[in-house]
Structure 1
Amino acid sequence: MIKSSVKNIVIPFSICILMALALYPDSSLNPDTYSTKGLELDYNISEELGMVSQDHTVKYNLFTPHLGKSFEGFKEALAFKESRGNYFTVNTLGYLGKYQFGTETLKLIGIYTPNQFLYNPELQEKAFIANAERNKWVLRKDIKRFEGQKIAGVKITESGILAAAHLAGPGNVKKFLRSYGVNNLSDAYGSSVKYYMKKFSGYDTSMITPDKKARVTL
């Protein structure tokens, strides 16, 4: 009997409280009521999941992409310079895609349909590799001869040579190296062989195999 009476009192009282909260939220809710004081909270990123500074505070999340001087880093850095990484862009001179290929260069690696190339990211990635392989074969002797030297204030590295070849073609890279920086071709937008040599210096491009007959196949 007592339980029944309590139940009859508590339920209506609870309903009244809920209605009051709904009708007068601003006056009914007190932030102090919801204090976390005294609660055991442990939501910090552990040291295993973060980059920890010398004062033991978490500064960076390890899951942030960091390509560094890897080949992927080289490829993406060059793509960002060329097109901001946009597969589907065409510049004012008609150069295509993420790596800004000209139609004549595409023909050298077996691509004769620029429109198909522009809308096929997989094809563009394979074209970048094939072109780098071909350029590395053309420049193999120059890489061996000049790598590690300083020319016009720039330390010569294989990745810098391949980046400059992507910009201006391997023939113009040979001219730059063999003239010790005197012959420094620039493209229509002002980027020069020397600039690419410096900007893309020191990446790991060892996975590129020199190939005179490099072609793209899907």
Structure 2
Amino acid sequence: MKLHTLGACIAFLLWVGHAPAKTVTVETIEVSPAQGEDSPAASPETIPLGDLPGTLESADEVIVDVPDVLQDRPQILYNKSYLPKPVARMHSQMMEAALSGDINRMRIILESNEVMPTLSFGEIEDPIDFLKESSGDGEGFEILAILADVLDAGFVHVDAGTPQEMYVWPYFSRYPIQDLTPEQKVELFRIVTSGDFAEMEQYGAWNFYRVGIGPDGTLHYFVAGD
């Protein structure tokens, strides 16, 4: 082979090795489904109203959009980690007093407020004597059991950002009685009797015991009635 021919071959090979690679453009074409066929990716999932989430288990959980028919219902909460520390502290103190079986432990809690919490819509003299008188057994055991059941129920956070902001137990006291699901009615009957519920249906709202605690941990009420 002649030297000039060999040199030409080497030069050609070097040019091929350093030449930029060619690129190929691939075009993606969406093919519409045939007439009358539904595309699985485009078809939205239909969720029955009964399957919509109605509770918030933690403060970090994402709240989904719900139909307008549910917009006026408060969000039902169960996870105590949602509560501000002062509210959680008051809730814990009241639960401990209720489960202790000693009605007198409620005095410390009630008198820790600057203003006595509402226990009745009428005037009372001694709060512990009033709680005993309100209890079916006359010693306060029934009222403590009611308090424990109320505090153990789901709750709601209402009037956020206003002077009336409150954490309220049970959530039934701020929830439409006529809209309760079968599961919610089971929750309700852990606190009241069927006779109590029948009266509530006639009245149109919860009228049994409820607890209201302000965001600063102040106990505003433990009261029953209208």
Same fold (TM over 0.5): no
Larger radius of gyration: 2
Give the structure-2-normalised TM-score. Answer: 0.22
Give the structure-1-normalised TM-score. Answer: 0.23
